Chains A and B, each alone.
Chain A
Amino acid sequence: MSAATARRFVFTHPSLWLGLAATLVFTLLALVSLVWTPYPIANIEIGDRFLGPSAAHWLGTDNLGRDMASLVMAGTLTSFVVASLSVLIGAGIGVPLGLAAAAWGGALEWLVLRLSDFIFAFPAIIVAILITSLYGPGATNAIIAIGIFNIPIFARVARGGAMSIKTLDFVAAARLAGLGNGAIAYRHLLPNILSLIIVQGTIQLSLGILSEAGLSYIGLGTQPPATSLGLMLRDAQGLFLIHPWLTLVPGLCIVLIVIALNLAGDGLRDAIDPRLKGAQQNAA
């Protein structure tokens, strides 16, 4: 798809545009928190606690008098970092495994598939509890736990895409030209399934943010003084009836980020769906 058609597509598909724009806004907020937040997030001012939104504190303050806007910015960053790194782990290990399974087939394929069945059998949260009970809670262990859960998903997507490419004649032509399985996987299969992987990556990113929030909420993820959206929920849960605002802010943030990423993922899927592409070519 050329740049011009891609641009036209964005304008004819508002949900993709909306999703990407919202994702970008949250990403920028998160990145800005690296260099600047309205207040330092470890700045405890007990006297200023439970303040409503005001000019000084845009989103008010929490039970320790910390600035909610600062916390949300830093928490979003943590969520994005944990989710992105776990997607990278999942794609980095899962995609090569899936490609190898498709390219070599036979015993290797069987092994990869059974291995992913094995990981699928445990919900992410159980894997996380296992890892954190062995190595202690923390953001790093949350990343590893979510990343491990992402591996079989990427392996399956990569293998499925590669299997359908593998039957095409150009792969047979490459084989005739003396290319081995590895070279075929790298040169022909990977570039042609990249779009699938990107779409799956976006969807796993939103699931990763949810998982991180869940893990932090039950105390297995990010630990204070660092913060994350899930941790903010955990801190605010006891006060929900008296100060619902403290729960609503991080909760709504999670919802908005996940919706944005899902919109972007679905939009991307529509944009690079090969069948849709075919329809556009036929019409042209």
Chain B
Amino acid sequence: MLLEVSGLTVKFGATEALSNMGLTLERGERFGIVGESGSGKTLTALAITGLLPEGAQVSGSIKIDGEPLPRSEREMARLRGKRIGMVFQEPMTALNPLMRINDQIEEAIRINAAAGAPPIEVPNLLREVGLELRHGDRFAHQLSGGQRQRVMIAMALASQPDILIADEPTSALDLITQRLVLDLIAEICTRRHMALLFISHDLKAVAWLCSRVAVMHRGKLVETGLVQDVLGSPKQAYTQKLVAASRFNVRPLARPPIGKTLLEVRGIGRDYKQGGPWPFGGKALRAVDDVSLSVDAAECVAIVGPSGCGKTTLARIIVGLDRATRGEIRFAGELHHGSDLPKARRRDISLVFQDPFGSFDPRLTIEQSLSEPLRLEKLDASTHVDRLIEAVEAVGLGQEMLRRYPHEFSGGQRQRLAIARALVTRPKLLVLDEPVSALDVSVRGEVLALLARLQADFGLTYLVISHDLDMVRAIADRVLVMEAGRIVEEGKPHEIFARPQHKLTQDLMAARLPEVG
């Protein structure tokens, strides 16, 4: 038994953040821990590596090769270096921005060099993680997210560890890169016969990579066993809920018929000037390039594409936060170019933001935040209040929530409130920028069901921006695929997913992980 954890409990003061956690890991085995944020999965990893934050009281036993973890910090550091490699979620902050990649990897090798062992060389490691030699001369900011994550893996491998702990290694990456990194981790573990402890909220990634899995909820182990047993036929109610949520089964509702063209975008382009305030010199960065699209009333159109393809910029122009350099937009018969959207029309377009934590001013009550868009209409006091209550109740929350502050709500509730704010002016078009990607898997389904119900109730038109193909398949009537500022493919979701034409669409489809269970 390589790693044996039993009865592991972590307390912060009186609150038990992790209780009675147990797991075992054999040499060469791949073990996954899934759970929502705050379920204690990262704490488990930190406890194993002895990196718990100050003030944490740990009890229980953690044994590596039958030996309990050393008490002294010095020996623990040596053990971490020799036996355990770690890969974190955000590779940008885990790499030193002032050191070249070669030097960082070399440092990891030098610190952990075993006496008498044959020296490892940086080029070999770079090659093993699928990087070219020239990447070693670069700095962290000169690499893409996926390349940085490969560097992190190379550094973790420098000590030739027995255990690799990967904490959400792919959740900051886009779909195609995510698949490449997951495949790389699997390949390296197999080749080196290295054990993997893979921590993720993504059931599909865990099912793809691991042979055994532990499901955690609120600091407790809910269910553990072989992946096909636990995720294929879950016994606990929580696991069943999690598996169901990962499938995006949005039940189809009676929808109002699709009407006339509501939004028409013609030849939109957006250039960003680079190189300071000078009028000349510096090549313009073309974020959006000659995009044309149209959305009909009561339709749900999705724009998918990798990160940096310009889909968010396009959304910002459509809602009137940014101005197009070229082209024009016709919304409900009126012509505009983005930020010159007429004030009378602003109430008809709303935007729901990706991050439910940044979209509310922490110092305003929900009522104050929700009232803001109502300035666009001149309403008397009682209609004003009625509208607020209508919006909050439409998203399934009570009117007593209006007096509270944003920090009193969970991520899923905040996203509901963000949708309520978008609905408060009774808009025609709702632009949703990654509406569920910042949410836990278990609440994604709820929010999507809410969106489907609102569309049925109010005849809303949706323009959804996303990189999540499964979500898009569940809700969209039409899909546009975007790459490098251009729309490269368009069609009904089932057609596009069955017969992708463009290279990018094919790559996206190939990168999809199989359904769970």
Residues of A within 8 A of B (CB): 110, 168-170, 172-179, 187-188, 191-192, 279, 281, 283-284
Contacts and interface: CB of A to CB of B under 8 A. Distances in A.
Contact of A169 (B55, B355, B407): B355
Given A169-B353, A169-B355, A176 B320 contact: yes
A107 to B, nearest CB: 9
B198 interface: no
Contacts of B372: 173-174, 177, 179
A175 B373 CA distance: 9
Nearest to B431: A176
Given A178-B343, A283-B12, A173 B359 contact: yes
B58 interface: no
Contact of B321 (A175, A187, A279): A175
A112 to B, nearest CB: 15
Contacts of B121: none
B319 A170 contact: no
Nearest to B363: A191
B351 A176 contact: yes
B346 interface: yes
B7 to A, nearest CB: 22
B11 to A, nearest CB: 11
B483 to A, nearest CB: 25
B351 A177 contact: no
A110 B15 CA distance: 50
B375 A170 contact: no
Contacts of A170: 358-361, 369
Contacts of A188: 361, 364
Given A172-B353, A281-B407, A177 B359 contact: no
A178 B343 CA distance: 7
A176 B345 CA distance: 11
B464 to A, nearest CB: 17
Interface string B349-367: 0110111001111111000
A278 to B, nearest CB: 10
Contacts of B319: 176
B407 A177 contact: no
Chain B contact-residue range equals 20 to 34
Given A175-B321, A176-B319, A176-B351, A169 B375 contact: no
B351 A172 contact: yes
B351 A178 contact: no
B375 A168 contact: no
Interface in B336-350: 343, 346, 350
A130 B338 CA distance: 51
B358 A176 contact: no
Nearest to B421: A173
Contacts of B360: 170
Contacts of B51: none
A281 B408 CA distance: 11
B79 to A, nearest CB: 26
Nearest to B356: A169
Contacts of A168: 358-359
Contacts of A187: 361, 364
B94 interface: no
B376 interface: yes
B358 A169 contact: yes
A15 to B, nearest CB: 18
A178 B320 CA distance: 10
Contacts of B362: 192
Contacts of B421: 173
A178 B375 contact: yes
A176 B363 contact: no
Contact of B363 (A172, A175, A192): A192
A169 B372 CA distance: 14
A172 B55 CA distance: 38
A179 B321 CA distance: 12
Nearest to B55: A283
Question: Ordered nearest first, which 6 A-B pairs have the shortest CB separation?
Answer: A169-B359, A169-B353, A177-B372, A177-B373, A191-B363, A169-B358
Nearest to A279: B53
A169 B312 CA distance: 13
Contacts of A191: 361, 363
30 contacts: A168-B358, A168-B359, A169-B353, A169-B354, A169-B358, A170-B359, A170-B361, A170-B369, A172-B316, A173-B351, A173-B372, A173-B373, A173-B421, A174-B372, A176-B319, A176-B320, A176-B350, A176-B373, A177-B372, A177-B374, A177-B375, A179-B372, A187-B361, A192-B362, A192-B363, A279-B53, A283-B12, A283-B13, A283-B15, A283-B53
Interface string B273-303: 0000100000000000000000000000000
A229 B373 CA distance: 55
Interface string B370-386: 00111110000000000
A179 B320 CA distance: 13
Contacts of A174: 361, 372
Interface in B6-34: 12-13, 15
B347 to A, nearest CB: 9
A176 B346 contact: yes
Given A169-B359, A172-B321, A179 B351 contact: no
Contacts of B355: 169
B346 A178 contact: yes
A164 to B, nearest CB: 11
Given A176-B346, A178-B376, 13 more contacts: A170-B359, A172-B316, A172-B351, A173-B353, A175-B321, A176-B321, A177-B346, A177-B373, A177-B376, A179-B372, A187-B361, A188-B361, A188-B364
Contacts of A177: 346, 372-376
Nearest to A167: B358
A172 B317 CA distance: 12
Contacts of B364: 187-188
B511 to A, nearest CB: 28
A279 B54 CA distance: 11
Contacts of A179: 372, 375
A284 B15 contact: yes
Nearest to B343: A178
A192 B361 contact: yes
Contacts of A172: 316, 321, 351, 353
